[in-house]
Structure 1
Amino acid sequence: MKEHVHDAARRAREAAAVLALATRADKDAALIAMAEALVQSTGRILEANDADVAAARADGTPENVIDRLALDEGRVTSFAQGVRDVAALPDPVGEVVRGSTLPNGLELRQIRVPMGVIGMIYEGRPNVTADAAAICLKAGNASLLRGSRSAARSNAVIVEIMREAVAATGLPADVVQAISAEDRSTATHLMQARGLVDLVIPRGGAGLIRTVVEESTVPVIETGTGNVHVYVDADADLDMALDIVINSKTHRTSVCNAAESLLVHKAVADEFLPRVVAALREHGVVIHGDPAFMAVDPAVQAVTEEAYATEFLASEISARVVGSVDDAIAHIRRYSSGHTEAIVTRSLEAAHRFTRGVDSAAVMVNASTRFTDGGEFGFGAEIGISTQKLHARGPMGLQEMTTTTYIVTGDGQVR
């Protein structure tokens, strides 16, 4: 298996060298061809995905995980459109980050260049296969895509379709490759292919991410879990707050930008708690609440420290009344995974204090947490949401998949 992975990486390096010289027109033509091929092959993709979903259900996989795995015509159309959106974006390669003329006359430019070969190790969610391939290609990188065994059939078909489309436009098919998920060792070999792979990005549950971060010898951009909070301030518009809480929690529960914890200022608790508890229960959400929430409805379960720290990825939420915006910030800094936090308030002072006080990749003011997404941010698609602080943070699009080089131009200067 090691040689299989390393051979794929070698071919990816050769393909990346060709891709580095490709024009924007070349890359965009390949992306448009990929998008069209995905739509035209929807039937093939759904047939493979049906088999993956059936196998997952037979294995007793929880429904929230099934939701991330399952595709339908709308989801295929959506990720194909994401590929088109990436094609429509400016090419980051060659962008001048900064430039100047030094006192000795040397002209200095720092420009964006491709990373080279990027490995993705991810769970479920076959849409990631298309998103990652598209972003890597546009940024001039070859991609090695190691999805989960549960989505093996779906991923294999999606990659095959994209490779055929890329090759038809004249670029090397090996700019997109799938790494087999039949053996767990392939993930290890990918994350330890130092010298062949330039960057590894894990995307999935906490266990997967921790394993890649701890065991990889290739540089890693860590995409974190989403223990996401919504704080309803004393000066909140409560109708707005209700809409934001419900959308953040129930729009799609199995994704990392769904709200997992609700904090409510004590000044509005008497009015807001009955409304939000009723609305959450109407949507089938199990509430793990403090005594104030439990007093509203006997169905509210007693909250625990574990619940406060949990990314449920399901119709569950932890809930607590706090005494101030500072109390909300302290709670978030203790339990948050650093993904997304939201405040609902009409107070500029409270909003400013909150956005400065929490330490997360994205902070929403009077907006749903579900907007933390590359597509929603106008990035076309995303390769993941980084919760680390080095190089990339938040939804990662094209620029985050590049590095830089310095071009220094002179007319004979010596030191």
Structure 2
Amino acid sequence: MEYIQQFELARESSKQMHNLSAELVNKVLTDLAEEIVKQTVEILKANQLDLNNMDHSDPKYDRLLLNPDRVAAIAADIRNVATLKSPLGEVLENKVMENGLDISKIRVPLGVIGVIYEARPNVTLDVFALCLKTGNVAILKGGKDADETNRALLSIIHSVLAENKVDLGVVTLLPADRKATEELLSARAYVDVIIPRGSQGLIDFVRENSKVPVIETGAGIVHTYFDISGDLEKGKAILFNAKTRRVSVCNSLDCLLIHRERLNDLAMLVAPMAGKDVQLYADPAAFEALKGLYPEGLLHQAGPEDFGTEFLDYKLAIKTVSELDEALRHIASFSSRHSEAIIAEDDQKQTLFLNAVDAAAVYVNASTSFTDGGQFGMGAEIGISTQKLHARGPMGLSELTSYKWIVRGNGQVR
């Protein structure tokens, strides 16, 4: 089918979304979750075809990888979305004017949402579930690395939609080629917003070439500052979790900033990471503090290119600072405004950090691994917005809505 025809069908489908009852939407999602679990073997077969074409050392490999536990977790997220209250129709503001006009501001769907993503097959299901729940139509453009998996998942989605007599046009998967991306970015007459999920390169390309409004998500250059007042045991646990829980995701730690007066504790802070073979790229002061105390093959002198890098791997940069203000300046220079953290017991330092850092999520004494829609109680997420217009941070149901004004009168004229 020609791209324009697909976009036209998506637009037509969006006009019918208001006819879907909340009960039917929830049934579709519940049925889908059950079918995903039932089809685990077939999903994993398709996923293996994709995995066979990717180098195991590629940081995207872990994002692409599905296993029974991950499939079950995705299904659980879909069930969770079904239980959440839809934001549609929520009255954000209501007032009656002196002339008797009754004016309300209510939540409505964005319309047709295009999502461009790389080797993240879970996005196919997350986006569909969130869009259906919020009355939006989804046009998906996955990467070639996950195409077999994405198509297997779309087939399951379409089968569930057909069983429930819901228009299949509510979700479309475009071919995994550059032409499809170019067409989607130019579909201003049919698509209301584009959301890219993936590398900084993908996000930059979409932002620079799209004729459709863009919400940027995904890229995370994440810092944690260990203050002079930081608690050593808290720091060890937080840093280890933030770096090693899952290195291929955007909330994983990329750079540790440490106060110069705490360099004697640095070896103990990062000791657990040696068990995960984390490569450390340390500035001169940190390198000297770690020399002989961290495995030699895992310790390197940092270069300028190691700061401001999203590693998506078992790698961590370390920067020594003399004061909190220096840490703040470093973060301001290199942050992608995703997630930033401070480990400190000093209340004033905590407050200054929270107020000064410009990021979607700012933490005190906690791992940046929590930047996630599910962890924030939002159900699944469509991405982590790193911009300020419309949405910021994890994008759940309410972030996939806009609003309109409803004005009720009784013959008033101006």
How far has the Cα of 1:177 moved from its partner? 1.4
- Asked whether the 8 Å contact 2:96–2:103 carries over to 1, the reply is yes
Q: CA deviation at 1:170?
A: 2.4
Equivalent AA in structure 1 for residue 192 of structure 2: D
> Deviations along 1:202-256, whole A, 9 cap, x unmatched?
0001111111101010111011411001111121111001100000001111110
Q: Find the aligned partners of 1:269 and 1:258 in 2 and give their Cα distance.
A: 23
Looking at structure 1, the residues matched to 259 and 289 of structure 2 have their Cα atoms a distance apart, in angstroms, of: 15
The structural deviation recorded for 1:191 is 1.2
Alpha-carbon offset, residue 20 of structure 1? 2.2
- 2:274 equivalent to 1:281: yes
1:123 partnered with 2:118: yes
- TM-score normalised by L of structure 1: 0.96
For residue 200 of structure 2, what is the aligned residue in structure 1? 206
Q: Partner residue of 1:36?
A: 34
Contact 2:240/2:270 (CA < 8 Å) preserved in 1? no
Asked whether 1:65 is paired with 2:63, we answer no
1:26-78 deviation per Cα after TM superposition (whole angstroms, max 9, x unaligned): 21111111111111111111000011101223xxx633211111100111111
Q: Secondary structure at the match of 1:296?
A: helix
Letter in 2 for 1:109: S
SS of equivalent to 1:341: strand
Please report how far the alpha carbon of residue 278 of structure 1 lies from its aligned counterpart in structure 2 after TM superposition.
2.4
1:246-257 alignment to 2 at 5 Å?
Answer: 246-257=240-251
| 1:391-406 superposed matches below 5 A | 391-406=390-405
Letter in 1 for 2:48: D
Question: What's the counterpart of residue 378 of structure 2?
Answer: 379
Q: Does the 8 Å CA contact 2:254/2:311 hold for their aligned counterparts?
A: yes
Residue in 2 that maps onto 1:168? 163
Structure 2 counterpart of 1:296: 289
Match of 1:26 in 2: 24
> Is 2:44 aligned against 1:50?
no
C-alpha distance in 2 between matches for 1:372 and 1:90? 22
1:331: which partner in 2? 330
Name the structure 1 match of 2:138: 143
Unaligned segments of structure 1, at least 5 residues: none
Runs of 5+ unmatched residues, structure 2: none
TM-score, normalized by length of structure 2? 0.96
Aligned-pair CA distance for 1:290: 1.2
Q: Measure the CA separation in 2 of the matches of 1:296 and 1:284.
A: 19
Distance 2:160 2:351 in 1: 48
Is 1:244–2:238 an aligned residue pair? yes
Write the distance in 2 (CA, Å) between the matches of 1:267 and 1:99: 55
1:90 aligns with 2:89: no
CA contact (8 A) 1:250 1:315 kept: yes
Alpha-carbon distance in structure 1 between the residues aligned to 2:261 and 2:311: 28
Matches within 5 A, 1:261-276: 261-270=255-264, 272-276=265-269
Q: Which residue of 191, 201, 225 maps to 2:219? A: 225
Q: In the alignment, which of 78, 81, 99 is matched to residue 76 of structure 2? A: 81
Q: Check conservation: 1:277, 1:297, Cα contact below 8 A.
A: no
Matched residues in 2 for 1:168 and 1:277: separation?
53
SS of the aligned residue for 1:207 comes to helix
Cα distance in 1 between the residues matched to 2:148 and 2:302: 40
SS in 1 for 2:377: coil
CA contact (8 A) 2:263 2:289 kept: no
Displacement of 1:7 after TM fit? 1.5
Q: List, as ranges, runs of 4+ consecutive aligned residues in structure 1 with deviation greater than 6 Å.
A: none
Report how far residue 125 of structure 1 moved.
1.2
Alpha-carbon distance between aligned partners in 2 of 1:136 and 1:284, rounded to the nearest angstrom: 40
Q: Secondary structure at the match of 1:259?
A: coil
Partners of 2:290 and 2:235 in 1: CA distance: 20
Q: Is the 8 A contact 1:221 1:388 kept in 2?
A: yes
User: What is the deviation of 1:17?
Assistant: 1.6
**Could you tell me whether the CA contact under 8 Å between 1:91 and 1:139 is conserved in 2?**
yes
Tell me the amino acid that sits aligned with residue 407 of structure 1. I
2:50·2:149 contact (CA, 8 Å) conserved in 1?
A: yes
- 1:103 matches 2:101: no
The separation in 2 between residues aligned to 1:9 and 1:30, in whole angstroms, is 23
Aligned-CA RMSD value: 1.2
Could you tell me which amino acid in structure 1 is paired with residue 24 of structure 2?
D
1:412 counterpart residue number = 411
